[in-house]
Every structure is written in C-alpha cells, then in structure tokens.
Amino acid sequence: MIQKMMLKKIQSYIPVSELERESRPSEMVVCFDGDNVRTWADFTDDVSKVRRYLEDRENVPWIIHCEDSYYFMVGLLAMLQGGRKALVTANRQEAFIKEIQKPGYGFLTDEPFAGAALIQDVLRDTESDGRWNTFDKNNAPMVMYTSGTTGEPKMVSKKFCQFENELFELVKVFGDGWVDRKVYSTVNHHHIYGLLFTVLLPTATGLPYRRRRIDYPGELVSIAGEAAVIASSPAYLKRLAADAEQPIPFKTTPIIYSSGGPLPEEVARKCEGLTGYWTTEIYGSTETGGIAYRQSKNGPIWTPFEVCKMSIGENDCLNVKSSYILEPEGFTTGDLVDIYDDGRFLLKGRADSIVKIEEKRISLPEVENRLKQTGLVQDVRVVPMVGKRQYLAAAIVLNAEGRNKFANQPKLEINNFFKAHLSQYLENTVTPKKWRYLEELPQDTQGKIKMRDIQALFNLPESKNFKILKMHREPGALSLKLVFPADSDFYDGHFPTFKLLPAVAQVDMVAVLAHALLGTPWAIQKIQRTKFCHPVLPDTVANLEMSYNAELGKVQFSYTNESGRVLSTGSLLMQMNA
C-alpha cells in the first residue's frame, strides 16, 4: 500500500518555510506506522488544526515534546506558521519541564502530562480552517536544549533560517542517494541531528518517514525488504555490532548515518558486514549544526560541508563559520584540531581533555587510545576524579575478544592486565586508579557520553552486592541495568534454602542509588504503595527505572527483568529535612 502511494522520484527540494498546501499531491505519503499512513492532505489539515488551536491562546512560547515523529512535525510546523516560539525539549521529565516552563508558556505533547495540551485531543476537538501559512524563516524563533559533555541543560536559541540553510547543504551532498527511499530513525528528533535528518529533511524532500523510532537492533530485520535511509547513533550501532550474529538480508543496501559522538572504526566495519554499508558519520553540535562528514574506512580525516569555513581559534580549538551560524565571528568549539591545506581536518580531542594529575599533564584521549591498543576494548572513557587527591578512573566496555579473554576472571586480574599494559607508556601517577567494566558507557539517545555520569559511577562505592552494567540519567530520572551476584550479602540469612533478593534490599538499593545519582535526601520517611510481583534470583539482570519529584520529595521506582516483566514497583517519601 505504502509503495504504491510513494512518488516514483524524490520531489525537488522545497524549503519547509515555503511549502504550500498544493506543493505535494494530496495522496502522497508523509509518514507511516506499519500499514497505517498519513498523507499530505492529512498533514496539511492536522497542521491547520493545531495552528488554529495555538492562535486561539495567548501563549507565545510553546514547549514541544512528542515521541511520535508525525505529531512532533505537525506541532512544530503549526507553531512556526502561527508565529509561536517553539521550545524543543529532549526530555519530558517533570523536573526538567518545571525548570524551563515560565509563566505564560504552553506545553504541547503526545503523552499525558499535568497542565499540558495533548496533541491527540487538539486534533480530535479542533476543526481545520483550511488555511496553510508560509512563514518568514528569518523571524521564526526556536530554542533547543543540549547537555553537551557536562550534562548540564543549556538553552540554544535558533532562527528557522539556520535549519533551512543546513537542509539545503545536506540535500546537495546526500540527496541523490535518498531517491525512492523511506526514512527510519534510531535517534531522538528533539536533538538537532534527529530533527534535521528524521523529520525536516523528509518534509522538505517529500520522502515518507516512520513515525516511531527503531529501538532495538533486532528490529532492522523487519525493514530488510525496504530501501531505507537510517539516521542512527554510535550507541545503537555499538549494540548492533555486539548483538547481531548474521548479516541482515537487506534487499537494497541501506544508507546509514551516525552522529552525536565518534563511531569506533571496528564498529563501523562490523556494521558494514551486517548491513552492507559503511556508516557515514556527521560531526557537529547543537550550536553549529553539521560541520563535516566522513566514512572512517577512508581514514580519520573529516571533510567539511562546502559552506563551513574552518580556522583555529582560542586555545587551538576549531572555529567554524557557515551560512547556518548567525554570529559573524562564527562559533569556537571545544575540539582541538589539525587543519590541512585542502580544508579537511583531524580531530585531536577536546581542550578540556588535558588534565593535571599531581602536577603532571596528561591527555585523557591518550590514555584511552593506549587501552584500545590492547585490542580488547570496544569503548572506553577516562575521567578525572578528586578524592584525597586527584586521580584518573577508567570505564571500559570490552569487545568480544576481551569478554572471552577475561571470562570468569576476578576484577583485580583484569585491572592488573590493563595497568601492566599502560605501564609500558605512562608513569604510574597518571594511570587510572579505579576501574569499571560496563556493557555500555552512560550516554543519551544521540550517543553523547557525559563525563559527569561516568564520574557519578565512580563516586558510588564499589560493592560486591550489585554491579551496574548500564546507566542513563536525565534531570529527575534514572535508568539502570543491574545484576545482583550470587555471592551478594543481600542473599544471606533471609531465605537459607532458596535465595531471593529481599524486598528490603530492593528498597534500600533505590534509596542508595537515588541519593547518589539523583541527589535525593538520604533517609526514607515513608514507604508507599510497594508491590513485589516476582522474585529476583541470584545473578538475575534487573532494569531499575526511577524518577524523583523534588517538590514532593517522592521517588517512584520499578524493577523489570530483561523481557520487560515487572519484578517490583513502589514509591518512597524521602525525609526532606534529613
């Protein structure tokens, strides 16, 4: 059905701000979810409905967060056409929304949220007035939020013309390869890369996109029959490389992009073996947009987009000027570079990656690269820590060879192996003093690895009672993958003949982790509405989701197993004066 409704050739590029109701055939597929499609006629009517709803209200700035890409694009375009300032937030955690929502701000979303307008209700209850507005891209304000490498929320103000200018460049460089394809995404469209590649580019070029993200590597098999463009991330591609054992039988070789962080060459190589395509990486930031691109099979050098002019700015960092950076002086990144005569460049790490340990300067990427030289490391981040004195700590994700080599070995022996390797190149004072071995480094949906989250892991005292395998932290919310080893003290003395993780241990873990990673008070005032549904056996992997409402002092939690079965749920009222 979808194939028949798709146009035979890609539409000529039409800037989003200049689209008219008659710009596309009314039956053209805009997006799909299985066999359910929304056409251009549906899209224009839905934008009209939401725009009319917004115009009937005094709110000028509107926060928008919709997990459904179609609802997001409808809401965003309605805001732009209605002269509303769009605040694009990457998460809808209560603590974060309260931080950015000022008096008079509206909030449009597709999931229930106190005080927010639900876009499904707006579309159901509002009549289309048949109007479709173009808008002035130079006076259409937007705000995006980014955490950067520190994890602290940062507001980045934009004009829509910046996105339009970048879309034109992307179509120039990549557009020919997109003909007759559908667009899929594993990333969040609330970040600039996802916004551009997964909703704005399809809207500007007339290509259909899937409404929901691809969350798991196994889902790629279900689209193997399609000609696909896939906007992905290092985090997703690392999982694909680790989990997939057989090549995915794509009928047409997909085109795959990655952004948000460096993609290890070995992961790109493995993914080419699985998909047939060597991933194209995009380098950029929320502030700069896309700066350059590469395929690492051709080496580590980046090719800038034609409109991006490179120079070396303060502290030997890359300065970028382009048609989608409004400041005439450009933007100076935090990345150290070598720029070659032909304009291409090599990234050498971040300026803040040079630290002093006991008065000795050391490059964190240098330590990371030495660890990768063992051939046993898929991913690693080395971070500075401060205790009685400053030291380094290393968080490591082993590759398949590393997992095989160290299977069943005690952690101390693994530590000693890497220490011995580093001792060939580095002085003892600058080798890591603490080590963690994870399944995945803490990162967001864009693959950004946050130094403060890795540091938070090391600030937790290491315990034989539990092990953290993965962590994802947002303002007021935490997601962890944990395992409770059979020799954990939690199992001693409670059920001598049949070991189960006691309820009190599960609650205690929530309190400990919430205090350490969400900043809650230490003491529990009251345990509310707890329910223990299924036993947690020794060596069981459990996913722990927590959220913290600071105003109420309440922590809500849920343990599930790997298949999604609920193990326990509940809420804790913390002692606010503790």
What's the pLDDT score for residue 357?
A: 84
What span, in angstroms and rounded, lies between the C-alpha atoms of 53 and 374? Answer: 59
The residue from 445, 469, 485 where one domain ends is 445
Determine the distance from the C-alpha atom of residue 165 to the mean position of all C-alpha atoms in its chain, rounded to a whole number: 24
Indicate whether 489 and 554 sit together in one domain: yes
Find, among 341, 339, 335, the residue nearest to 354 by Cα.
Answer: 335
Q: Bigger pLDDT: 535 or 8?
A: 535
Q: Which of 418, 445, 472 is the last residue of a domain?
A: 445
Nearest CA-CA partner of 189 in 73, 109, 277, 363: 73
pLDDT in tens, 72-113: 999 999 999 999 999 999 888 787 888 888 899 999 999 999
Instruction: Give the model's confidence band at 445: pLDDT under 50 very low, under 70 low, under 90 confident, else very high.
Output: low
- Alpha helices, DSSP H only, in 249-290? 265-275
State whether residue 101 is helix, strand or coil: coil
Please tell me whether residues 487 and 376 are part of one structural domain. Answer: no
Identify whether residues 393 and 499 lie together within a single domain: no
Which tens digit of pLDDT belongs to each residue from 297-338?
999 999 999 999 999 987 789 999 999 999 999 999 989 899
205: in domain:
no
Q: Residues 502, 507, 513, 515: what is their CA dihedral angle, to the nearest 10 degrees? A: -150
For residues 108 and 82, is the Cβ–Cβ distance under 8 A? no
In a domain, 575, yes or no: yes
Neighbour count for residue 464 (Cβ, 10 Å): 11
Q: Which residue has the tokens 């005292």?
A: 461
CATH code assigned at 411: 3.30.300.30
Total Cβ atoms within 10 A of residue 386: 9
> pLDDT per residue over 17-53, tens digit each?
999 999 999 999 999 999 899 999 999 999 999 999 9
Q: What is the pLDDT of residue 153?
A: 61
Residue 333 lies in a domain: no
Last residue of a domain, one of 386, 410, 445: 445
| Rama region for 288: left / alpha / beta (φ>0; ψ in -120 to 50; rest) | alpha
pLDDT at position 200 is: 97
Edge to edge, what strands does the sheet with 317-321 contain?
Answer: 309-312, 317-321, 331-339, 345-350
Residue 242 has pLDDT above 90, yes or no: no
Q: How many helices (H) and strands (E) does the chain have?
A: 15, 30
Q: Using CB atoms within 10 Å of the CB of residue 329, give its burial: 0 to 12 exposed, 13 to 18 middle, 19+ buried.
A: exposed
CATH code where residue 563 lies: 3.10.129.10
For every residue of 200-247, DSSP letters joined together read IHHHHHT--EESS---SGGGGGGGTTS-EEEEE-HHHHHHHHHH--S-
Spatial distance between the Cα atoms of 330 and 324, rounded to a whole number of angstroms: 10
Tokens for 445? 């949906």
With a cut of 60, say whether residue 2 has pLDDT above it. Answer: no
Q: Are residues 482 and 571 in the same domain?
A: yes
pLDDT at 429: 86
Residues 389 and 417 in one domain: yes
Query: How far apart, in Å, do the first and last CA atoms of the chain sit?
Result: 61
Predicted confidence at residue 513, as pLDDT, reads: 93
The total domain count for the chain is 2
552: left (phi over 0), alpha (psi -120 to 50) or beta: alpha
Average pLDDT in the chain: 90
Do 555 and 494 share a domain, yes or no?
yes
Say if 297 falls within a structural domain. Answer: no
Question: Same domain for 432 and 523?
Answer: no
Residues 503 and 432 in one domain: no
pTM of full prediction above 0.85: no
Confidence class of residue 247 from pLDDT cuts 50, 70 and 90?
very high
Average pLDDT over residues 428-457: 85
Does a structural domain hold residue 428? yes
467 and 437, same structural domain?
no
Same domain, 426 and 480: no
For residue 373, the enclosing domain spans 358-445
| Domain match, 440 and 481 both | no
Look at residue 539 and tell me if it is in a domain.
yes
Domain shared by 506 and 573, yes or no: yes
Report the candidate in 453, 409, 415 with the shortest Cα–Cα distance to residue 436: 415
Quick check: is 427 in a domain? yes
pLDDT tens, position by position, 512-537: 999 999 989 888 899 988 899 998 98
238 dihedral zone (left: phi>0; alpha: psi -120 to 50; beta): alpha
pLDDT at 7: 40
User: Within a domain: residue 429?
Assistant: yes
Nearest to 244 by CA among 226, 271, 266, 224: 271
CA distance 81 to 62: 13
